[in-house]
Amino acid sequence: MEKFDNFIKKLERSELKKEELEKCLSRLSKHFEIDIDIETLNFLGLPIREEADCIFLTTKKNHFKDEEYCVVDIETNGNSPIKNQIIELGAVKIKNGKITAKFESYVFADFIPPAITKITKIKKEDLKDAPSLKKVLQDFKLFLGDNVFVAHNVKFDYSFISNSLKVVGLEELLNRKLCTVDLSRKTINSPRHGLAFLRDFLKIEEGDHHRAYSDAHSASIVLQECFKNIPENINTTEDLIYFSKMNNKQKNKKPTASFD
């Protein structure tokens, strides 16, 4: 993935001329032994577009408030995407403060540890008629599209879903991602920033905690609360992503340059 990571870093820095993109895609196609084009990258979740013979990340041009975000949460029967699996997946899309779409599904599994049932209230019987992991992931990937993937502790949800896609023989995610834990720490004056605490702190009344859809919806409300306190120098979605990742020593640094 090193070649692809370098390609993404180039796009994060600036737009690419079409000729340069074609050279990059040719090298990537040889490396991955499949034909890779703009449409393929869009399908895999990378939000790139072509305009006036230049290729760019749309997240470098979109104002963060106008972006469409897909806020996601999963419940699993263990912490390893190799040994364990997703048992419930929920997501809500939001744009301009409004819900534009919803996704919610159990996932078939023949084993749920008692500890997981105690936390989630999900029982093995609840999953007996649920669709397979591959089916749910296929449907979710179509739902997600090339939207920004958002989650409370995004590293876990994103990597678990992406690795699960690989396990069932599908391509991993390439979406831009944003963590509401990181963002809330910089924008919400709360003593703690776990989702359960923020639900109480912000008086979010949205279903049961530790259920995929209700937690995804709660995280979407946290995201919108964060938007109320974003610094004025943050304009684009890429600015926002960069800002969310900054440590205390970087707080006074400007975000990466964005396009007009």
Which pTM does this prediction carry? Answer: 0.91
The residues that bridge with 138 in the sheet, in sequence order, are none
Task: Please write the tens of the pLDDT for every residue from 77-95.
Answer: 999 988 999 999 999 999 9
Backbone angles phi, psi at 110, to 5 degrees: -100, 10
* Encoded tokens for 191: 């003593």
CATH of domain 67-229: 3.30.420.10
Residues near 203 by Cβ (< 8 Å), separated by ≥ 6? none
Task: Please write the tens of the pLDDT for every residue from 44-76.
Answer: 899 999 888 889 999 999 999 999 999 999 999
Task: Please write the tens of the pLDDT for every residue from 199-249.
Answer: 999 999 877 788 999 999 999 999 999 999 999 999 999 999 999 999 754
**Is residue 109 pLDDT above 70, yes or no?**
yes
**Is residue 255 pLDDT above 60, yes or no?**
no
